[in-house]
């Protein structure tokens, strides 16, 4: 018999966070989160996303053992501002038992119906900066700190329970030295001259801080027309600023500004922390922090995390400036692989942007939806 219990205490929440550690124990591909960071992201007093969203967390038990989990999420900015009557769900993990996955999804459905929402979609997080999608191809590739990993049976559970594909995402990687640097160098000079633009590079995190709010504003402006986009609020900007900026190598953040120093484009790359997080196994201390700091300094793989370009400058070759700067940074640091975050399959513009790097699609993931009527 399956019993579903709502998380009510800090001890329950810790069980929720730690369940995947047993589900994926021994996997060479699963990348564990830092337990404290995960706990903090679910804390209503710490994560400002809860100013505009609510979440309920559930654990599934069978024979007094935890066998599954799910977070049921409503983002009220999405529901009220965009009129998307969507019930979100994420952090959805379960053993290969259809009764377990169904019982968890039924709790999500119940909450969605109570709020007169029209459909449920997952796995997704609270916003566009969270993890997204269930892995359907690429199970033999190591995960990243910004994506979920899952067993291959997950897809069949979604489809057995009547869910249909909503969005599909591609994950690509390429050799950092693959592209011809002369192409980007020449294009970057031409674009800078034509539009009066210049690059900005950084050596200290403190120098980036005054620009962070402008960067998030540009992020909102860049992606505002996407149907799935939920804007980043001012309070979230402060939260992300404190949580992430100091941990990203300053030389991995590139800005492009116009003649009046107005930000028109940005890009953020992160070192790959995957193997370091596996060694840390959820804990910063006593040794986890040293594995992460070593990866920050010495990792030869990087994750291309975010890119934003002002609508007035899209399709004008501004990426050539960014790629030219990254090429020199990657070469100096001896970077081998560049791994991109999940990108929508039908985003042809982003695929065109990367074509000169000869990328290889090594993973696919999806979100699934089901009507609540």
Question: Is 92 in the same domain as 234?
Answer: no
Whether the predicted pLDDT of 330 surpasses 90: yes
Question: Is 19 in the same domain as 62?
Answer: yes
Residue 278, in any domain of the structure: yes
Question: Is 80 in the same domain as 124?
Answer: yes
Question: Is 134 in the same domain as 221?
Answer: no
Question: Is 28 in the same domain as 109?
Answer: yes
Domain boundary among 172, 201, 229: 172
Question: Is 155 in the same domain as 181?
Answer: no
User: Distance (Å, rounded) from C-alpha 30 to C-alpha 367?
Assistant: 19
Residue 152, in any domain of the structure: yes
Question: Is 207 in the same domain as 103?
Answer: no
**Per-residue pLDDT band at 353 (split at 50, 70, 90):** confident
**Residue the block writes with tokens 């070192």:** 271
Task: Dump pLDDT digits (tens) for 334-345.
Answer: 999 999 999 999
Q: What 3 state SS string does 207-271 have?
A: HHHHHHHHHHHHHHHHHCCCCCCCCCCHHHHHHHHHHHHHHCCHHHEEEEECCCCCEEEEEEEEE
Task: Dump pLDDT digits (tens) for 221-278.
Answer: 998 877 668 888 999 988 888 888 877 899 999 999 999 999 999 999 999 999 999 9
Name residues whose C-beta falls within 8 Å of residue 174's C-beta, 6 or more positions apart in sequence: 337, 338, 354, 357, 358, 359, 360
Residue 347, in any domain of the structure: no
Domain boundary among 154, 172, 190: 172
Question: Is 201 in the same domain as 301?
Answer: yes
Residue 350, in any domain of the structure: no
Give the Å distances, CA to CA, from 13 to 10, 17, 59, 69, 239: 5, 6, 9, 10, 21
Domain containing residue 203: CATH number: 3.40.630.30
Question: Is 35 in the same domain as 134?
Answer: yes
Residue 165, in any domain of the structure: yes
Residue 296, in any domain of the structure: yes
**pTM of the entire predicted model:** 0.94
For 54, the domain range is 2-172
Question: Is 254 in the same domain as 298?
Answer: yes
Question: Is 147 in the same domain as 199?
Answer: no
Question: Is 128 in the same domain as 227?
Answer: no
Name residues whose C-beta falls within 8 Å of residue 64's C-beta, 6 or more positions apart in sequence: none
321 phi and psi, to 5 degrees?
-65, -45
Give the percent of the chain with pLDDT over 90.
84
Whether the predicted pLDDT of 118 surpasses 80: yes
Residue 345, in any domain of the structure: no
For the chain, the domain total comes to 2
């Amino acid at each position: 018999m399956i019993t579903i219990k709502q998380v009510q205490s800090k001890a329950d929440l810790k069980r929720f966070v730690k369940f995947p550690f047993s589900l994926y124990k021994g996997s060479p591909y699963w990348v564990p989160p830092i337990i404290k960071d995960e706990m903090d992201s679910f804390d209503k007093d710490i994560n400002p996303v809860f100013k505009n969203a609510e979440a309920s967390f559930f654990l599934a038990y069978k024979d007094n053992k935890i066998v599954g989990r799910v977070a049921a999420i409503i983002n009220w900015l999405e529901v009220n501002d965009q009129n998307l009557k969507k019930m979100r769900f994420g952090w959805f993990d379960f053993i290969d038992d259809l009764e377990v996955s169904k019982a968890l999804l039924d709790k999500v459905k119940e909450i969605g119906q109570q709020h007169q929402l029209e459909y449920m979609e997952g796995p997704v997080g609270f916003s566009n900066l969270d993890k997204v999608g269930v892995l359907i191809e690429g199970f033999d590739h190591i995960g990243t700190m910004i994506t979920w990993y899952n067993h291959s049976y997950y897809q069949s559970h979604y489809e057995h329970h009547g869910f249909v594909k909503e969005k599909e995402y591609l994950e690509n990687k390429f050799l950092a030295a693959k592209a011809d640097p002369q192409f980007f160098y020449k294009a970057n000079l031409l674009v800078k001259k034509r539009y009066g633009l210049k690059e900005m590079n950084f050596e200290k995190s403190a120098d980036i801080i005054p620009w962070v709010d402008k960067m998030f504003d540009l992020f909102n402006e860049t992606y505002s027309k996407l149907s799935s986009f939920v804007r980043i609020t001012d309070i979230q900007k402060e939260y992300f600023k404190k949580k992430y900026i100091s941990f990203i190598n300053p030389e991995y953040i590139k800005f492009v500004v116009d003649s009046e120093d107005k930000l028109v484009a940005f890009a953020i790359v992160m070192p790959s922390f995957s193997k370091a997080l596996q060694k840390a196994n959820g804990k910063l201390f006593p040794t986890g922090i040293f594995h992460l700091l070593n990866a920050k300094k010495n990792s030869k793989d990087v994750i291309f995390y975010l890119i934003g370009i002002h609508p007035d400058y899209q399709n004008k070759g501004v990426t050539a400036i960014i790629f030219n700067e990254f090429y020199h940074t990657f070469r100096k640091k001896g970077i081998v692989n560049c791994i991109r975050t999940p990108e929508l399959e039908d985003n042809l513009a982003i695929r065109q942007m990367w074509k000169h790097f000869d990328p290889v699609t090594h993973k696919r993931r999806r979100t699934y939806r089901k009507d609540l009527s």
